[in-house]
Amino acid sequence: MTDNLELTETDFAEDRYARLRLIPWWEQERLRNATVMVVGAGAIGNELIKDISLLGVGRVLVVDMDTIENSNLARSVLFRAGDVGRYKAEVAAKRAMEMNPDIKAKALILNAIDDIGLGVFRRVTLVLGGLDNREARLAINQACYKVNKPWIDGAIEALNGFARAFTPPDGACYECTMTETDWKLINKRKSCTMLTQEQMNEGKIPTTPTSSAIIAGVQVQEMLKLLHSDRDLPTLAGKCYVFNGLTHDSYVVEYQRKLDCMSHDTYGSIDEMPWSVHSLTLGELINAVKVDMGTDAVVDFDRDFASVAACSCGERKDLFVPVHKLKAEAIVCPECGATMGFERFHSLDGTEVFLDKTVGEIGVPPLHIISGRAGTASKYYEFSADEPEIFSEFTKEDNING
Ligand SMILES: [Zn+2]
Ligand SMILES: [Zn+2]
């Protein structure tokens, strides 16, 4: 028998959270077992990732498709001058694991609006938003309601900001909070889907590392309470915390759930299929759904795709891209230079001429969920074979600390 006074690595690992555990309702296990997706790795996203990493959230998914610019350095605790030009998500995920080796962080270089499959949302505990535009918020909100995942939004402008939580299937959702002005701004953006970089810059808002720290801090505190939802803690579900940075006044407003809101659609039970968007063709997909639901069944996608562009000069051109991602130059006629019209679809009935394309080739993201419809019956199918592509790095050492 020896008295070993040396602290083992495990002792240190446990000690790390000692002060957090002093909070009466705190259960560190819940954080360690959580998978949190942070969408957006900008000013707010940096603070969110910093906080949840320090707190020991076990798995962190960081979604962002942008690279680091000089102007990010004044507002982003995770980025260094030498990181300029690298992907924000990759750098943020790496720094998160340096700050806390207990956690796993993974970068997804994806567009928040189109590229995150619903099966990704389905597999996370909750979503934190570090977004800077309404369209992305609307997309994240709809995805979260479809698969019943809470999400916590944050927004900042100069010294001000707000934070709010949405907890499907109940309460007000993000769309319920939208005003006519919000819709006008979204539709303006949509009507000129084909934005130039200069136009994108016009939408940029002034932000500071101080307001992002305050708002992200509130968001993460809301996350903590939602992870301990059985402890009867007050939350911001369906409410908005408003922070005025000039006076340092703050208050909470409660949102009303709108009965006619289009975003409350929640999917029923979801069948996990051994399908990958990279290999299953549209023909195989519609056939499988018809075998399951009957010959009159159709496949519904949750977005519009552009199929073929046609010009008045007779020129035709394949597009096969989500309409939202269609670039202005893609519909310039290569023959005469005119702007071409294009055909769109969001369903398949099996009569299409492009059934040899894979589901991924038209722009359906990995691990997505599609619906089959026959009469009034609906079924939901997930491309579950894509799971390793998104979650592989999380699965290996998951149970390493018991
Ligand atoms: Zn709503
Ligand atoms: Zn033409």
Question: Any idea which ligand is nearest the CA of 314?
Answer: 2
Residue 161's pLDDT is: 97
State the Cα–Cα distance between residues 376 and 119, nearest whole angstrom.
24
Question: Any idea which ligand is nearest the CA of 340?
Answer: 2
Question: Any idea which ligand is nearest the CA of 331?
Answer: 2
Residue type, 191: S
**Dihedral of alpha carbons 332, 278, 142, 57, sign:** negative
Residues lining ligand 2 (ion), CB within 5 A? 311, 313, 315, 333, 335-336, 338
Residue 258's pLDDT is: 95
Ligand 1 centroid to Cα of residue 152, in Å, is 14
Whole-structure pTM value = 0.91
Quote the mean pLDDT of the chain. 92
Give start and end residues of each alpha helix (H) in 154-300.
180-191, 197-202, 209-227, 282-293
**Dihedral of alpha carbons 343, 348, 353, 356, sign:** positive
Ligand 2 centroid to Cα of residue 16, in Å, is 65
Contacts of 283 (CB under 8 A, 6+ apart): 350, 355, 356
Residue type, 208: T
SS3 at position 234:
coil
Ligand 1 centroid to Cα of residue 323, in Å, is 24
Question: Any idea which ligand is nearest the CA of 259?
Answer: 1
For 282-301, letters b (16+ CB in 10 Å) and e give bbebbebbbeebeeebbbeb
- Assign 394 a pLDDT band (cuts: 50, 70, 90): confident
Question: CA nearest 36: which of 26, 51, 21?
Answer: 51
Task: Report residue 312 as tokens.
Answer: 């008045």
Beta pairing partners, 393: none
Task: Report residue 156 as tokens.
Answer: 């900042």
Provide mean pLDDT across the span 362-382: 97
Provide mean pLDDT across the span 348-356: 97
Express each pLDDT in 197-249 by its tens digit. Answer: 555 555 678 889 999 999 999 999 999 999 999 999 999 999 999 999 999 99
Question: Any idea which ligand is nearest the CA of 173?
Answer: 1
User: Under a CB-based contact definition with an 8 Å cutoff, are residues 67 and 34 in contact?
Assistant: no
SS3 for 19-56, per residue? HHHCCCCCCHHHHHCCEEEEECCCHHHHHHHHHHHHCC
